[in-house]
Structure 1
Amino acid sequence: MKRQTALALAAVFSLSVAGTALAAPANPFVDVPAKHWAYDSVSKLAKAGVISGYGDGTYRGDRTLTRYEMAAIVGKALANSEKADAETQKELDALKTEFAAELNNLGVRVDSLEKKIDNVKITGEARIRYEDKEQKNIATFDDDGEITGWTNPKSKPLQLRTRLKVQGAINDDWTYVGRLQNTQDLKTGGIDANNEGKTELNWAYVNGPIGALDVTLGRFDATPAYGIALDDTIDGVQASFGNKLKVDIFAGRQDYVGDTKDDLYIANLGYAFSDKLNFKGAYFHLDPQDSDIDTGNLYEVGLDYQLTPNVNLAGAYLKSDADDENKGYFGQITYKGADRTAPKSFGAWVNYRDLEAGTLISTTLDYGAVQWDGKGYEVGFSYVPVKNARWTTSYTDLEGSYDSSQKAEYFLTKVDFYF
């Protein structure tokens, strides 16, 4: 019997090959006889547009179907039953009655599969970034850390960064999160100066409650206060609690100086004075593994205020216990914001900073310093042309806080894609 009407069978075959035994009154893999009335009913459903069919829009009526396969077709039709007129609905009701047992068991099978799939979620980001960097009077060093000279480097890197994030539910309370990252320099055949084109696992942590604490353990991002002193991954533990007064305690290790990870302890506070005014503050204690480098303490405190629905003001002060180069200031005005889920949304900002060397651990700023420190301004703009794609462009002009002969100009443009 020739059929060229649309039927949904692709999912049927992928499910049936698994061969899982289903508890039904009759064997669901027994063929429905070739002259069974169900074939005519299904054909009517297809002609009525209730069933969407194979990818090529055909019903392969030169073969019989098992009861299992037929039930899957009926299930597909039930999902589109709003398209059925009164006559077509009668055909659908008859099919539903005939294959009730198989439909029930197929539904259990699919629900179980969906629960398993929902247990693990994979998301990702892809970023293309171009930079034009020009610096003056930048120090060079020998293997012993002694300054050997001064250079005026220029570079125009074009990079592709890919991130894949995997999140899985351990149980109802605990979750595992991992993230793979790879950065390729598109101008040098894929070799990046930071990781030599390798793929690294830069997130790997579990998160869940212990009593009143929200606990994160493993390798994760730490962004205390406004993220000016530190916005980077650490290996350790974070415990958080509080609502209006939010408290985060960190203990772990981070690449601060040298080739070894240095012990780092952080206490972070956040307090909402109102729905417009917020305070943030953080205390850092660093204990370098290199015995020639002293331990250090650093504070970062600041306020942010929503001046209007579209304008936000933020400012921060940083102070360390270093003998010199121990103060920092930062201020920023932000207009609107580019929400990656909202096409045509945009944002702009301008900031000024004077960050001395003793106040920076691993800064959140794309270009926080000329070499060790930095004083100057940045302007930027971001725009979302389509959902989950954000274009950002910025210009940064800095000079050294300690040595004003050191200069740096950075132009950056990038597009981030989220999936």
Structure 2
Amino acid sequence: MKTKVLAALAATMAVGATCAFAANPFVDVPSDSWAYKSVVELADAGIIQGVDGQYFQGNRNITRYEAAEMVAKAMAHMDKASVEQRALINKLADEYADELNNLGVRVSALENRVGNVKLTGDARVRYRYQDGSKENDNSWDYRVRVRANSQVNDRTKVEFGVSTDNHNFADNGTASNAENQENNGIYVDRANVDYNFGGNNWDLKVGRYNYVLGGDRAYGYNYGDTFDGAQLKYGNDKFAATAGYGKFKEGDIAGIAKTNDDEGLEGTKTGYGELEGFFGGGRAAGSALGVYYNDFSANDATRGGQADDLWGAYASLNLGKWNALANYENVSYAKDIKTANGNDDSANVWIGKLTYGKAGFATPKSWDAWVEYINAEDGAFVGGSTNGWRWGNHMDNIESWGVGADYTFAKNAMFQVMQSFGTNTKDGNAKDPEEQTRAQFVFVF
């Protein structure tokens, strides 16, 4: 990249500099040069230093790291930039994200700048198969999600997102037929305000957000999806505590829709709390231990609302390129609820997962492979959307193994494959479920 090209781009980033009072620091940039004003403004703003502090060398090719360093310095002036200038800085920061991270500059720091609005999203094309399943006629499906994140001020963020449902390619209706496609399955899955206070250690989130039982480090066996509520969190590099209350909005636990003249049932509500500790690398990259609790309430005792409460614990250990996860959950039921395993008041699930490597969307050719084990008593799965990859009949009253791999074949594009094996029904006389296969392409933007 030529420095004069970068100077033309970065001229709009030299905000706050006053050329009339700035002296030209470079002996090789004459006052009648087309780039004189931009170069002086950039130097005065501290974005460029030149070579040996004396020469600009406008025709010299520069490295991506030198360009990233200039972008990093421009990021420091974001509070003085206009909307158009911030947009350009954001674009350059995305381009040089890897170099900025290697230089120790977190691109996510842009989110702390007032007035920053960023659109992100993902698209998934998925294949699922299970021998003898009626779902095989709809093996291929797709989903698209779009997120808008806005930094209102230095403490407040607003998130809004929409998502399509999982639409299969075997639908008989036309793509534009809203009645056949249930309004194309588009719904609001994120709409929340996030307020940070108390020295950045306290965080309050209110609205519609993603809630995972056990947090981001746990397996997400029982629930991980759209949730309406309020959540207060305290966290630092060693410890985090979370408390919240709200209503599930996806899956059976969220309620049954109105049919004919029957009223729809109200979704299950929960109060929840979680404690986590981080070590061996801190909160971002280290290992973690956590415990969590949910108190359920619902109007109907024939679906997910039958569960009275749930508690769980997890351990996630980072061992170089290896990660080992162990997760336990116990669901308690009202005394009049019976489960197939003979227990009248509780059901347990044990989950273990071992992963080697780490696939990242920003790192082409990165990959990982994993193996998992699930041992779930009847009633351990309360019903609802999860972070797991299995169909519902592989979530409850089963013992099963699974293997999978993730590969980033291009920047922001990943291929993932999963396969179950050794699956059997734990209690009762039901036939062992057939094994499941899943493969998908995921693209982020």
**Is TM > 0.5 for Structure 1 vs Structure 2?**
yes
Alignment pair present for 1:112 and 2:85? no
- Identity, in percent, stands at 20
Alignment pair present for 1:218 and 2:200? no
Q: Which amino acid aligns with 2:145?
A: R
Q: Which residue of 2 aligns with 1:383?
A: 407
Q: C-alpha deviations, 1:30-54, integer Å up to 9, x for none?
A: xxxxxxxxxxx89xx6xxxx89xxx
Deviation at 1:179, TM superposition (A): 1.1
Q: Which residue of 2 aligns with 1:201?
A: 188
Unaligned runs of 5+ in 2: 10-31, 43-47, 51-55, 61-79, 88-114, 258-265, 342-346
Deviation at 1:248, TM superposition (A): 1.0
Corresponding residue to 1:240 among 233, 236, 248: 233
Corresponding residue to 1:335 among 334, 337, 356: 356
Is residue 155–residue 197 contact of structure 2 (8 Å, CA) maintained in 1?
no
Q: Which amino acid aligns with 2:427?
A: Y
Alignment CA distance shift 1:364-1:113 (3 Å): closer
**Secondary structure of the equivalent of 2:435?**
strand
Q: Which amino acid aligns with 2:295?
A: H
Is residue 296–residue 308 contact of structure 2 (8 Å, CA) maintained in 1?
yes
Alignment pair present for 1:414 and 2:425? no
Deviation at 1:83, TM superposition (A): 3.2
Deviation at 1:156, TM superposition (A): 4.2
Q: C-alpha deviations, 1:92-120, integer Å up to 9, x for none?
A: xxxxxxxxxxxxxxxxxx94233674521
Deviation at 1:155, TM superposition (A): 3.5
Is residue 230–residue 360 contact of structure 1 (8 Å, CA) maintained in 2?
no
Unaligned runs of 5+ in 1: 1-6, 12-40, 52-70, 86-109, 137-151
Q: Which amino acid aligns with 1:386?
A: A
Q: Which residue of 2 aligns with 1:252?
A: 246
Alignment CA distance shift 1:401-1:178 (3 Å): farther
Q: Which amino acid aligns with 1:296?
A: D
Instruction: Give the whole-Å Cα distance in 2 for the aligned partners of 1:242 and 1:164.
Output: 28
- Higher strand proportion (structure 1 or 2): 1
Report the RMSD for the aligned CA atoms in angstroms. 4.0
Alignment pair present for 1:320 and 2:320? no
Q: Which residue of 2 aligns with 1:148?
A: none
Deviation at 1:125, TM superposition (A): 1.1
Q: Which amino acid aligns with 2:294?
A: F
Alignment pair present for 1:268 and 2:291? no
Q: Which residue of 2 aligns with 1:366?
A: 389
If you compute each CA radius of gyration, which structure gives the higher value, 1 or 2? 1
Deviation at 1:195, TM superposition (A): 6.1
Q: TM-score, normalised by structure 1?
A: 0.66
Q: TM-score, normalised by structure 2?
A: 0.63
Alignment CA distance shift 1:372-1:411 (3 Å): closer
Is residue 307–residue 331 contact of structure 2 (8 Å, CA) maintained in 1?
no
Q: Once structures 1 and 2 are overlaid, which stretch shifts more, 168-177 or 367-376?
A: 367-376
Number of aligned residue pairs: give it.
327
Alignment CA distance shift 1:300-1:339 (3 Å): same
Is residue 132–residue 155 contact of structure 1 (8 Å, CA) maintained in 2?
no
Alignment CA distance shift 1:246-1:75 (3 Å): closer
Q: Which residue of 2 aligns with 1:91?
A: none
Q: Once structures 1 and 2 are overlaid, which stretch shifts more, 381-390 or 405-414?
A: 405-414
Deviation at 1:134, TM superposition (A): 3.0
Q: Which residue of 1 aligns with 2:127?
A: 130
Alignment CA distance shift 1:295-1:224 (3 Å): closer
